[in-house]
């Protein structure tokens, strides 16, 4: 799994004449803008994600059951699609500004003030609105597994809801919060489409500039690795800081978290907040896509090629999800058994933070090399050329998905294993069950919620993935995301809306199912 | 006639090849399938050769390079002289036979045959019909005080911007270009963002009075039935060819490379030959509003109505050479961070 990163490191060494100017001039700018973006998104997703998880798991208010899963909905929307939809809504010719002009009689934008969506702040808000579910999911899972004892104790001691939140809930949920925020931030780092759309001078942008405008792939690899190292250091520092704490209260105190019933005005306020979050994160982009799609379908301009792309998308995502969950199970198992933090698997998690196209290059180079060896071999032995069986087939895409999203499945499964402990497995062994029987009858069933959650998340991620799929797919294979991109890049947004909506629809099914399963089992 | 003979010869040659396969040609393309569709359809009908298109964006050169001798790519189609030059530098090409490119103007074919241009597009000004009267403008004007707070453009690091800056370096030297670029930066109405169409929209919205953009967008917006609002944007601007008086309007190209390890070499050569034919050049002109590069094929009526293009005769190779410098200069003056004062 670390192979692409190593390949990038190898590429980075390719031309060791580090461009002085590159690092001293642009890196500070890029780091500042990327840092600000990460800070905004981190704070925003943490607040919204934690608040929403806390609200649905601690209070009774109108629509609570609905919001429990509705909060997950924005996860189905890729950042680049959300970015496009929001720009359509907020720009000069969009519905809001058009209304303002109709009401005020203004003709040009110089006559009134309106926030510019194409800005760092715009990017941060729009991305946060679809990324907060990562925090919501991890925090909610945590709250559901959390014993109600501590909260009950806090309340018995006379602390009100706010005090309980700041003194008990917030410190306790730190690990879950960090997991969620980290996922959201890595998503920001590998995004290419949205930051370009919003004109943010992110680190991704200078990686691309260096690579494409200066034909300097080694320099680009150096920059990408620098960024990864920075992120890696941050994660490591965080883990180091809480290395000796055990946050996980055991589940054996069977006190279920009890719900506090909110009074009517407060309850309605909470409902409004929840509805607002879901509307902005999910409602706005989907309504925009829907209105354009309906227009498109009415004009009968649907391209038939969309259906094979639909099937391909599902097959590839299912393959990616299966691979990630199987491998994630074994890596998590290794971590638990050794009770340590293996350096190499830590390296593997970096895949999640590498800009997709750069990661794809890191995959192409070793796979292309292997293909060369294989073909040399088959030619020497059988006199046959088998072609690009690795880099020219869906294997390359599945490999990319695994490298990108293994972290997601690994983290979920490892957390569940830790929580469950090894007692059950030991008992099974003592009773004479062999390891296969233990695996099938004890291990996997007890991990089911986590496995389902992991599979769901990875599946959704794979459907949304664009840059690696675009560069690695074999000739003739299209997915919905490559379809969207092809249309959007000739600025044919209307044609892009239908496949974009399909992406959202497919991603919705597992997102909702997974959310429900997780709820039922915990 | 000559072309028919070549085609016949190529056809005969392909029959003589030892490894006879179902005839097809694999196209790795930076150009979107929809733009290519009319061309590939015409080619298939004419020759019976099947076309397979893989639409790839950034990294297409790296992909072909890493696939090495097993690569299925026959031709690589891309836009921007810089990317064509990158393909040349990466060594993923084999010479396009001179008989195919014999009629192509010298500036539009790489001397060794590493690539041949297919279309040209000019980097021009879109100005507000209401607020701008000037008829003759030059790239130098962008830096003059008259345009303070009135100019819009996409990112300085976009390939099209880099091409323009590189051409200015080639003409005026690095020092003067730097000064010019700083002047343009300080005249910007807003931080560079969005694509070329978004700049035209910004004129429509009153945010700026002059935008830099490629010619064909005008045609695409004026004929956009899917999003009719774009017709309104385009109707609010008129197109000015900068430096027309000195015949120095900056032109960039789209082009094609014959892949080094093309498995269907003969079909690939036929395809390139077809792309340079009057028929294909006319399709480019009419459907995509680009300038045909072959002498004798006219630009579309709509494009001609915007005036006469007097293209810069600066060799494209020189622009390619200056790209690295241009990209560094754009960073150095922090162009993408917008006005500094």
> What ipTM is given for this predicted complex?
0.78
Alpha-carbon distance of A423 to A428, in angstroms, equals 9
Tell me if B324 sits within 8 A of A211, measured CB to CB.
Answer: no
Task: Report the chain A residue with the minimal C-alpha distance to residue B51.
Answer: A476
Alpha-carbon distance of B230 to A179, in angstroms, equals 44
CA distance B207 to chain A (A): 6
Q: Which two tokens stand for residue B104?
A: 């192509």
Taking an 8 Å cut-off on Cβ atoms, the answer to whether A372 and B68 are in contact is yes
Alpha-carbon distance of B278 to B284, in angstroms, equals 10
Taking an 8 Å cut-off on Cβ atoms, the answer to whether B57 and A489 are in contact is yes
Final residue before a domain boundary, out of A227, A242, A257: A242
| B217 assigned to a ligand binding site | yes
Identify whether A156 is part of a domain: yes
User: Structural domain tally of chain A?
Assistant: 2
- For testing the chain B interface, which of A33, A212, A364, A466 should be mutated: the one with the most B CBs within 10 Å? A212
Q: Which H or E element spans position B253?
A: strand B251-258
Alpha-carbon distance of A217 to A278, in angstroms, equals 41
- Identify which of B53, B62, B190 has the shortest CB distance to residue A217: B62
Residue A413 above 90 pLDDT?
no
- Identify which of B56, B70, B327 has the shortest CB distance to residue A388: B70
State the pLDDT at residue B256: 96
Q: Within this chain, do residues A503 and A402 fall inside the same structural domain, yes or no?
A: yes
Half-sphere exposure of A337 (CA within 13 A, CB side): 8
Chain A contact set for B55 (CB, 8 A): 470, 482, 486
In 3D space, the residue among B214, B13, B212 whose CA is nearest the CA of residue B97 turns out to be B13
Alpha-carbon distance of B126 to B213, in angstroms, equals 7
Chain B contact set for A466 (CB, 8 A): none
Q: What is the CATH number of the domain that holds A41?
A: 1.10.3720.10
Ranking A83-97, A501-515, B4-18, B72-86 by mean pLDDT, the lowest is B4-18
CA distance A351 to chain B (A): 18
Chain A contact set for B164 (CB, 8 A): none
Alpha-carbon distance of B30 to A75, in angstroms, equals 30
User: What digits encode the pLDDT tens for the residues A493-511?
Assistant: 677 788 888 888 888 877 6
Q: Give the pLDDT band of residue A113 (cuts 50, 70, 90).
A: confident
Q: Give the pLDDT band of residue B5 (cuts 50, 70, 90).
A: very low
Chain A contact set for B157 (CB, 8 A): 205, 209, 213
User: What digits encode the pLDDT tens for the residues A298-310?
Assistant: 666 666 778 888 8
Q: Within this chain, do residues A199 and A53 fall inside the same structural domain, yes or no?
A: yes
Q: Give the pLDDT band of residue A322 (cuts 50, 70, 90).
A: very high
Taking an 8 Å cut-off on Cβ atoms, the answer to whether B193 and A199 are in contact is yes
Q: pLDDT > 70: what percent of chain B?
A: 93
Chain A contact set for B57 (CB, 8 A): 470-471, 485, 489
Q: Within this chain, do residues A101 and A237 fall inside the same structural domain, yes or no?
A: yes
Cβ contacts below 8 Å, chain A against chain B, sum to 154
Q: What is the 3-state secondary structure (H, E, C) of B280-334?
A: HHHHHHHHHCCEECCCCCCCCHHHHCCCCCCECCCCHHHHHHHHHHHHHHHHHCC
In 3D space, the residue among B301, B340, B8, B41 whose CA is nearest the CA of residue B184 turns out to be B340
Identify whether A251 is part of a domain: no
Residue B282 above 90 pLDDT?
yes
Q: Which domain holds residue A54?
A: 21-59+78-242
State the pLDDT at residue A343: 54
Q: What is the mean pLDDT of residues A328-353?
A: 65
Task: Report the chain A residue with the minimal C-alpha distance to residue B216.
Answer: A490
Q: Give the pLDDT band of residue A522 (cuts 50, 70, 90).
A: very low
Alpha-carbon distance of B174 to A141, in angstroms, equals 59
Taking an 8 Å cut-off on Cβ atoms, the answer to whether A26 and B71 are in contact is no
State the pLDDT at residue A201: 79
Taking an 8 Å cut-off on Cβ atoms, the answer to whether A211 and B89 are in contact is no
Place of tokens 């494009």: B303
Q: pLDDT > 70: what percent of chain A?
A: 83
A445-462 burial: b if 16+ Cβ within 10 Å, else e: ebbebbbbbbbbbbbbbb
* Segment B161-165 long-range contacts (CB within 8 Å, at least 24 positions apart): B161/B212, B161/B330, B162/A213, B162/B82, B162/B323, B162/B326, B162/B327, B162/B330, B163/B80, B163/B81, B163/B82, B163/B123, B163/B250, B163/B252, B163/B319, B163/B323, B163/B326, B164/B123, B164/B139, B164/B212, B164/B250, B165/B326, B165/B329, B165/B330
Chain A contact set for B71 (CB, 8 A): 388
CA distance A515 to chain B (A): 35
Q: Within this chain, do residues A393 and A495 fall inside the same structural domain, yes or no?
A: yes
State the pLDDT at residue B11: 44
Chain A contact set for B54 (CB, 8 A): 473-476
Mention every residue, 6+ apart, whose C-beta is less than 8 A from residue A156.
Answer: none
Chain B contact set for A474 (CB, 8 A): 54
State the pLDDT at residue B9: 45
Taking an 8 Å cut-off on Cβ atoms, the answer to whether A371 and B68 are in contact is yes
Residue A41 above 90 pLDDT?
yes
Identify whether A170 is part of a domain: yes
Taking an 8 Å cut-off on Cβ atoms, the answer to whether B206 and A107 are in contact is yes
Residue B142 above 90 pLDDT?
yes
Q: Within this chain, do residues A353 and A424 fall inside the same structural domain, yes or no?
A: yes
Residue A53 above 80 pLDDT?
yes
Top mean-pLDDT range of A60-74, A237-251, A282-296, B298-312: B298-312
Identify whether A289 is part of a domain: no
State the pLDDT at residue A506: 85
Q: Give the pLDDT band of residue A172 (cuts 50, 70, 90).
A: confident
Tell me if A192 sits within 8 A of A355, measured CB to CB.
Answer: yes
State the pLDDT at residue A384: 72
Identify whether A264 is part of a domain: no
State the pLDDT at residue A203: 78
Taking an 8 Å cut-off on Cβ atoms, the answer to whether B207 and A486 are in contact is no
Taking an 8 Å cut-off on Cβ atoms, the answer to whether A201 and B336 are in contact is yes
Place of tokens 């976009």: B158
Which domains does chain B show, CATH number per domain? 2-120+251-304 (3.40.190.10), 122-249+308-337 (3.40.190.10)
Residue A118 above 70 pLDDT?
yes
Ranking A182-191, A382-391, B17-26 by mean pLDDT, the lowest is B17-26
Q: Which H or E element spans position A418?
A: helix A394-420
Alpha-carbon distance of B80 to B163, in angstroms, equals 8
Q: Within this chain, do residues A379 and A238 fall inside the same structural domain, yes or no?
A: no
Q: Within this chain, do residues A219 and A85 fall inside the same structural domain, yes or no?
A: yes
Q: Give the pLDDT band of residue B257 (cuts 50, 70, 90).
A: very high
Alpha-carbon distance of A357 to A226, in angstroms, equals 16
State the pLDDT at residue A346: 59
Q: Which two tokens stand for residue A433?
A: 């069950």
- Identify which of A197, A475, A493 has the shortest CB distance to residue B72: A475
Q: What is the mean pLDDT of residues B190-207?
A: 88
Give A150 or A251, the one with higher predicted confidence: A150
State the pLDDT at residue B66: 85
Residue A14 above 70 pLDDT?
no
Task: Report the chain A residue with the minimal C-alpha distance to residue B59.
Answer: A471
Q: Give the pLDDT band of residue A16 (cuts 50, 70, 90).
A: very low
Residue A322 three-state SS: helix
Residue B17 above 60 pLDDT?
no
Q: Within this chain, do residues A346 and A204 fall inside the same structural domain, yes or no?
A: no
Task: Report the chain B residue with the minimal C-alpha distance to residue A26.
Answer: B331
State the pLDDT at residue B326: 93
Alpha-carbon distance of B70 to B92, in angstroms, equals 12
Region for residue B246 given its phi and psi (left: phi exceeds 0; alpha: psi -120 to 50; beta: otherwise): alpha
Identify whether A257 is part of a domain: no
Q: Give the pLDDT band of residue A31 (cuts 50, 70, 90).
A: confident
Final residue before a domain boundary, out of A197, A218, A242: A242
State the pLDDT at residue A256: 60
In 3D space, the residue among B151, B146, B81 whose CA is nearest the CA of residue B116 turns out to be B81
Chain A contact set for B203 (CB, 8 A): none
State the pLDDT at residue B108: 94
Sign of CA dihedral A130, A136, A141, A144: negative
Mention every residue, 6+ apart, whose C-beta is less than 8 A from residue A447.
Answer: A329, A413, A416, A417, A420
State the pLDDT at residue A277: 92
Q: Within this chain, do residues A314 and A234 fall inside the same structural domain, yes or no?
A: no
Tell me if A425 sits within 8 A of A333, measured CB to CB.
Answer: no
- For testing the chain A interface, which of B19, B53, B58, B150 should be mutated: the one with the most A CBs within 10 Å? B58
Residue B8 above 80 pLDDT?
no
State the pLDDT at residue A484: 83
Q: Within this chain, do residues A384 and A469 fall inside the same structural domain, yes or no?
A: yes
Q: Give the pLDDT band of residue A353 (cuts 50, 70, 90).
A: low
| B284 assigned to a ligand binding site | no
Q: pLDDT > 90: what percent of chain A?
A: 11
Taking an 8 Å cut-off on Cβ atoms, the answer to whether A369 and B66 are in contact is yes
- Provide the 10 A C-beta neighbour count for residue A343: 9
Mean pLDDT rounded to a whole number for chain A: 78
Q: Note the residue count of chain B.
A: 341
In degrees to the nearest 10, what's the CA dihedral of B126, B132, B134, B140?
-60
Residue B12 above 50 pLDDT?
no
CA distance B2 to chain A (A): 33
B259 - beta bridge partners?
B93
Q: Give the pLDDT band of residue B275 (cuts 50, 70, 90).
A: very high
Q: Within this chain, do residues A324 and A440 fall inside the same structural domain, yes or no?
A: yes
Identify whether A502 is part of a domain: yes
CA distance B242 to chain A (A): 24
Alpha-carbon distance of A499 to A302, in angstroms, equals 10
Sign of CA dihedral B40, B41, B45, B51: positive
Q: Within this chain, do residues A375 and A482 fall inside the same structural domain, yes or no?
A: yes
CA distance B273 to chain A (A): 23
- C-alpha distances out from residue B328 to A122, A184, B216, Å: 28, 32, 28
User: What digits encode the pLDDT tens for the residues B84-131?
Assistant: 999 999 899 999 999 999 999 989 999 999 999 999 999 999 999 999
- C-alpha distances out from residue A33 to A26, A132, A199, B157, B337, Å: 11, 20, 11, 16, 11
B312-336 burial: b if 16+ Cβ within 10 Å, else e: bebebeebbebbbbbbbbbbebbbb
String of DSSP letters for A57-111 = HHEE-TTHHHHHHHTTGGGGS-HHHHHHHHHHHHSTTSHHHHHHHHHH---SGGG
Q: What is the mean pLDDT of residues A12-17?
A: 56
Chain B contact set for A499 (CB, 8 A): none
Identify whether A237 is part of a domain: yes
Mention every residue, 6+ apart, whose C-beta is less than 8 A from residue B170.
Answer: B314, B318, B319, B321, B322
State the pLDDT at residue A244: 57
């Amino acid at each position: 799994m670390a192979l692409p990163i190593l390949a990038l490191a190898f590429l980075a060494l390719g031309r060791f004449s580090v461009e002085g100017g590159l690092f001293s001039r642009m890196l500070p700018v890029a780091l500042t803008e990327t840092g600000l973006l990460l800070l905004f998104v981190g704070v925003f997703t943490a607040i919204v994600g934690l608040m929403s998880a806390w609200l649905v798991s601690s209070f009774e208010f109108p629509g609570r059951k609905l919001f429990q899963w509705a909060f997950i909905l924005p996860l189905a929307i890729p950042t680049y699609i959300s970015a496009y939809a929001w720009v359509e809504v907020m720009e000069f010719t969009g519905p809001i500004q058009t209304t303002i002009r109709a009401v005020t009689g203004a003709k040009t934008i110089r006559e009134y003030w309106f926030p510019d969506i194409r800005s760092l702040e715009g990017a941060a808000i729009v991305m946060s609105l679809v990324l907060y579910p990562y925090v919501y999911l991890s925090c909610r899972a945590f709250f559901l597994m959390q014993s109600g004892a501590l909260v009950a104790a806090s309340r018995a001691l006379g602390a009100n809801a706010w005090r309980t939140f700041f003194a008990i809930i917030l410190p306790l949920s730190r690990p879950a919060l960090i997991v969620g925020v980290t996922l959201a931030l890595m998503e920001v780092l590998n995004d290419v489409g949205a930051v370009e759309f919003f004109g943010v001078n992110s680190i991704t942008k200078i990686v691309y500039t260096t690579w494409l405008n200066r034909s300097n792939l080694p320099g680009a690899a150096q920059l990408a690795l620098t960024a990864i190292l920075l992120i890696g250091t941050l994660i490591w520092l965080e883990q180091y800081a809480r290395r000796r704490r055990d946050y996980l209260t055991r589940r054996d105190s069977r006190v279920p978290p009890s719900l506090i019933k909110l009074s009517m005005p407060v309850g309605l306020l909470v409902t409004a907040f929840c509805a607002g979050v879901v509307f902005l994160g999910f409602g706005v982009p989907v309504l925009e896509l829907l209105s354009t799609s309906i227009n498109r379908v009415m004009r009968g301009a649907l391209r038939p090629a969309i259906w094979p792309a639909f099937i391909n998308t599902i097959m590839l995502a299912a393959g990616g999800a299966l691979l990630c969950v199987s491998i994630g199970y074994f890596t998590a198992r290794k971590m638990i058994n050794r009770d340590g933090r293996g350096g190499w698997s830590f390296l593997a998690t970096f895949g999640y933070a590498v800009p997709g196209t750069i990661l794809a290059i890191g995959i192409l180079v070793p796979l292309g090399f292997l293909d060369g060896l294989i073909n040399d071999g088959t030619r020497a032995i059988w006199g046959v050329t088998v072609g690009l069986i690795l880099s020219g087939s869906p294997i390359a895409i599945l490999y990319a998905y695994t490298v990108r999203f293994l972290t997601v499945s690994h983290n979920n499964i490892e957390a569940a294993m830790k929580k469950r402990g090894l007692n059950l497995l030991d008992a099974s062994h003592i009773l004479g069950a062999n390891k296969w029987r233990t695996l099938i009858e004890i291990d996997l069933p007890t991990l089911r919620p986590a496995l389902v959650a992991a599979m769901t998340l990875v599946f959704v991620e794979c459907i949304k993935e664009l840059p690696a799929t675009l560069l690695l797919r074999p000739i003739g294979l299209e997915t919905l995301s490559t379809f969207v991109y092809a249309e959007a890049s000739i600025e044919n947004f209307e044609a892009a809306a239908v496949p974009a909506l399909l992406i959202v629809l497919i991603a919705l099914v597992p997102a909702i199912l997974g959310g429900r399963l997780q709820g039922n089992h915990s | 006639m000559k072309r028919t003979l070549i085609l016949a010869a190529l056809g005969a040659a392909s029959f003589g090849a030892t490894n006879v396969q179902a005839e097809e040609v694999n196209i790795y393309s930076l150009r979107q399938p929809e733009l290519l569709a009319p061309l590939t359809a015409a080619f298939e009908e004419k020759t019976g050769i099947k076309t397979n298109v893989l639409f790839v964006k950034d990294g297409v050169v790296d992909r072909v390079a890493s696939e090495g001798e097993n690569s299925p790519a026959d031709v690589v189609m891309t836009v921007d002289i810089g990317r064509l030059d990158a393909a040349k530098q990466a060594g993923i090409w084999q010479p396009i036979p001179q008989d195919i490119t014999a009629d192509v103007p010298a500036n539009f074919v790489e001397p060794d045959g590493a690539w041949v241009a297919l279309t040209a597009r000019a980097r021009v000004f879109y100005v507000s019909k209401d607020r701008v009267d000037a008829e003759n403008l030059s790239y130098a004007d962008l830096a003059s005080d008259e345009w303070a707070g009135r100019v819009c453009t996409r990112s300085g690091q976009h390939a099209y911007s880099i091409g323009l800056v590189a051409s200015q370096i080639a003409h005026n030297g690095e020092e003067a270009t730097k000064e010019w670029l700083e002047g343009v930066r300080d005249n910007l109405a807003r931080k560079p963002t969005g694509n070329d169409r978004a700049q035209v929209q910004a004129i429509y919205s009153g945010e700026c009075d002059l935008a830099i953009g490629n010619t064909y967008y005008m045609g695409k917006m004026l004929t956009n039935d899917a999003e009719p609002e774009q017709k309104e944007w385009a109707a609010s601007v008129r197109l000015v060819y900068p430096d027309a008086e000195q015949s120095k309007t900056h032109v960039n190209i789209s082009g094609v490379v014959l892949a080094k390890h093309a498995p269907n070499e003969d079909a690939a050569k036929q395809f390139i030959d077809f792309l340079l034919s009057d028929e294909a050049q006319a399709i480019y002109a009419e459907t995509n509003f680009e300038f045909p590069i072959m002498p004798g094929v006219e630009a579309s009526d709509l494009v001609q109505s915007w005036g006469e293009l007097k293209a810069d005769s600066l060799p494209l190779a020189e622009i390619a050479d200056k790209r690295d410098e241009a990209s560094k200069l754009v960073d150095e003056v922090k162009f993408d961070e917008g006005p500094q004062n």
